[in-house]
Structures are given as C-alpha cells and as structure tokens.
Amino acid sequence: MTKLKTTQTMKPATAAKKLGVLLSATPAEFQEGVVSRDELNALQADPPAWLADLRRNGPHPRQVVAVKLGVSNSGLARGGITGPLTTAEIDAIKAENPEWLQRERSVQAEVRKEAQRLKQR
C-alpha cells in the first residue's frame, strides 16, 4: 500500500506571519484562500509586487516593527506602540529617537549580551 503525499496547507494568517506582513494589508484573494507550502516557498523565492511593496513600505506587524526599531515586543508596548506601523512611521520614530526608544534599545542590548554570555558557558 502506497502512502499518498498530501499537500501541506496553512491559514492565510499563518502564511502572512511567515512572510512578515500584516494579513489585513494583503490582497483579498490571499486572505480568503489557503496557502500551500509550495505556494509559500514560491512567494518567498520570487515575491510578487504586492508582497515586495508590503515588505518595503508596510504596514508592518508588531514583531517586524520591534525588529526594525531594535527593541522587544514588550518594549514597544511600554513605549505606547500597540499597532502596526508603516516604514515612514518607523523612520520618523528613529529620527526622533525618543527617550523610551533609547531605554528599550539599551535593555535589548543587555538581554543580547546576557544571552551571549550564557551561550558561551
């Protein structure tokens, strides 16, 4: 008896998270269907214009905003950032360099330094 290989599929929300984009900003056909593993790999390898534009300009999900600002998700919340931001909004925050951002970046740097120290034990 041979096993039939089934195609792995995922919900659009999962695929959007793996692609690093906000689901609500994706096209309707992406939001309404399911995404196979092969389709996801194709989107990552050769992103269509809408995906490239979303990755470049946003709006970006919180985890991407946190990475772009160099802080943790918790640091974003402490700084009062609760929703998605566009690249222009992120750049404006970086240019302003508010006190909360400086503090959270230093906290993040300490966390990374401690993680590196523990890894070398």
- CA–CA distance, 61 with 58 (Å, rounded to integer): 8
Is the domain of 29 the same as that of 47? yes
Band of pLDDT at residue 8, cut at 50, 70 and 90: confident
**Predicted confidence (pLDDT) per residue in 62-100, tens digit:** 989 999 999 988 889 998 888 899 999 999 999 998 999
> 109, 89 in Cβ contact below 8 A?
no
Is the domain of 74 the same as that of 108? yes
Q: Is residue 2 part of a domain?
A: no
Report the pLDDT averaged over residues 10-37: 88
Is the domain of 64 the same as that of 86? yes
| C-alpha closest to that of 77 among 68, 87, 66, 91 | 66
Domain carrying residue 84: 58-120
Is the domain of 71 the same as that of 112? yes
Is the domain of 11 the same as that of 34? yes
- CA–CA distance, 110 with 114 (Å, rounded to integer): 6
